[in-house]
A and B are shown apart, each in its own frame.
Chain A
Amino acid sequence: MKKIVGVFLILSTTTAFMLPQKKAAVSQPTLKAAIERGKTVYLQRCMACHQMDGGGVPRLNPPLDGASKVKGADKVYLIRTVIKGMTERVEIDGEYYDNNMSANADLTDVQIADVLTYIRNSWSNKASVVSAAEVKAARAKIK
């Protein structure tokens, strides 16, 4: 019984700790607005290759839906990919894709943050938001 209480205490502490954290990071309406704006960018810049459903095109353009890197913690990698594009032969979740990816350095920090937030929170994806400040910091390091 003591053990159970202990676990409960840990759980509730974690939950209590996590909840305000999440709220502080981004409120639901703000997230929704970012996703909406991100979708507009997605339709103009990404949709042609990665498709409406984020499924990509077999062997040409990798899927964003369910992709480990897209959902992953390395946001700098994602920001860099949007800004610089991709021309190397890299394995993505066990598959290779032939097409070069556009460079999108002309997008603003907010646009890149929004489109990444949209991609990370669409279809089956559920991952943390990308902020304009994170894009700004990452962009400063990209040559």
Chain B
Amino acid sequence: MKKRVLLSLMLIGATISFVAANDSTIATVKKEVADPVNAGLKIPGGFSASVVADNLGRARHIVATQQGGLYVKLERLKEGKGIVYLKDADGDGKMEISKTFANYYGTGIAIKNGYLYASSDQDVYRYKLDDKGEVIDAETPQRIVKGLWDKRQHASKSIALDDAGHIYVNIGAPSNSCQEVDRTKGSKGMYPCPILDSAGGIWQFKVDQTDQGYHNGIRYATGLRNVVGLDWNQQQNKLYVTMHGRDMLYTLYPEMFDTTVSAELPSETFYAINKGDDAGWPYVYYDHFQQKKIQSPEYGGDGKKAGGEKAIDPLVAFPGHMAPNALLFYTGNQFPEKYKQGAFIAFHGSWNRSPLPQEGYYVVFVPFKDGKPNGKWEVFADGFSGTGVVKNPRDAQHRPCGLTQGPDGSLYVSDDVKGTIYKISYSSK
């Protein structure tokens, strides 16, 4: 009996010491993994990156206050709330959750003239801010727009504001290419596409009127399948947008397109928008190899025939399906000269390039001069996915989704997989 007890005790002791040793090893490893150089991002020389907040939920668009706080819009409620307000109260460089509010999920969030604006998939709300940039009454926002189409597909409402009292709201088309039966082989394109009356464009509303509906708004631009990134360019006093191009050229038209072409086309497009513009969806798509608008196969196209004579051309055409989810014109003084007035675009990353590897999952920079691109676009921040090649979107650990500029000129990037907020800064030293 004594022997047995002794043996058991020895065994228990051995196990404990083993576990203890193991634990300390794990702790050391964890610490190293948790704080990699530049938060695991690949960025240009002179820049540094860090994670300022993490595990927020599905962080879509973000906006910084002039006082250094950050509002984050969530695509799914977290503990019943759809907006997170972050600030670095103790000055340690990390942001803490200061407040959560709003009982609706969504994507759009923006600040203009002392108000915070945020969207659900049907409505737009605004909240008055105090002199600290904090929401005064989180419980009773003013609903300024209501009843916009929410038909699952492309339902998120991105927003931007001008200096003349208007808000611009994207209403994405709940369709791939306006076929009679969506995404279905052999189904014809509807003509004229009835969706364009209520979606597939940007609508303009007034910032200060309660409960505006479609009848109060102006269809500011049309023929835009789904715009997730949009920004008002202060210097040009003009709206700029990035559009998600159509999917499934190969799946729907295997006789015209192979999987390689279908992975690259159509282009993801970046437009300057004037009132009344038509970007051509669903009748045409853009092809950056042929550098022209091509008639959609649902509307008699064959992959070569040009179309859309009255439709606008993009400023920049990116490879297909990369999903430009946020657009930000840089107006700060912190970054080097070449970045001033240029555009940052957060690419959420593709899914429609399968069986080929996916693309995107990075933040791109487009240099600008006088409102027009004046150089080639380049990848500015990469490595969000945490894996070399993304074969399937679910393998990506983080996906860039929102952008905002802090009062010090730093760039913030949100991720909607884990809810990580990155801060990218420049230091000439």
Contacts and interface: CB of A to CB of B under 8 A. Distances in A.
Interface of A: 43-45, 47-49, 51-53, 55-61, 63, 85, 87, 89, 98-104, 106
B354 interface: yes
Given A87-B182, A102-B184, A52 B251 contact: no
Contact of A58 (B184, B247, B417): B417
Contact of B351 (A44, A61, A89): A61
Which of B174, B185, B355, B391 has the largest number of chain A CB atoms within 10 A? B185
5 contacts: A44-B254, A52-B354, A55-B393, A100-B175, A101-B183
Contact of B392 (A53, A87, A100, A106): A53
B394 A58 contact: yes
A60 B181 contact: no
B153 interface: yes
A51 B185 contact: no
A55 B153 contact: no
Contacts, number: 75
A51 B154 CA distance: 20
Interface string B170-196: 000011100001111111000000000
A76 B154 CA distance: 30
A24 to B, nearest CB: 36
Contacts of B250: 48
Contact of B354 (A48, A63, A102): A48
Contacts of A48: 247-248, 250-251, 352, 354
Contacts of A103: 181, 184, 187
A89 B185 contact: no
A103 B392 CA distance: 24
Interface in B240-296: 247-248, 250-251, 254
B183 A57 contact: no
SS class of chain A's interface: helix, strand, loop or mixed? loop
Nearest to B186: A106
A43 B354 CA distance: 10
Interface residues of B, number: 29
B152 interface: yes
Nearest to B187: A103
Contacts of B181: 85, 102-103
Contacts of A49: 248, 351
A55 B393 CA distance: 9
Contact of A51 (B175, B183, B351): B351
Contacts of A87: 152, 182
- The list of the 4 closest CB pairs from A to B, nearest first, reads A57-B351, A100-B182, A102-B183, A48-B251
Given A44-B251, A48-B250, A57-B351, A99 B183 contact: yes
A61 B247 CA distance: 13
Nearest to A60: B351
A89 B391 contact: no
Given A44-B251, A47-B355, A99-B183, A57 B394 contact: yes
A85 B153 contact: no
A44 B259 CA distance: 10
B41 interface: no
Given A98-B152, A100-B176, 13 more contacts: A44-B254, A51-B393, A52-B391, A53-B392, A55-B394, A56-B394, A63-B394, A89-B152, A100-B153, A102-B251, A103-B184, A104-B184, A104-B185
A59 B248 CA distance: 18
B153 A99 contact: yes
A63 B395 CA distance: 13
Interface string B384-399: 0000000111100000
B328 interface: no
Nearest to A50: B354
B347 to A, nearest CB: 15
A85 B153 CA distance: 14
Contacts of A56: 394
Given A48-B247, A98-B155, A55 B183 contact: no
A103 to B, nearest CB: 5
Contacts of B391: 52-53
A60 B254 CA distance: 23
Contacts of A100: 152-153, 174-176, 182-183
Given A52-B355, A57-B393, A106-B185, A98 B154 contact: yes
B392 A55 contact: yes
Contacts of A55: 392-394
Contacts of B394: 51, 55-58, 63
B73 to A, nearest CB: 15
A106 B185 CA distance: 9
A51 B392 contact: yes
A52 to B, nearest CB: 5
Contacts of A63: 394
B386 to A, nearest CB: 15
A6 to B, nearest CB: 36
B193 to A, nearest CB: 16
Contacts of B354: 47-48, 51-52
B30 to A, nearest CB: 26
Nearest to B181: A103
A104 B186 CA distance: 10
A53 B393 CA distance: 11
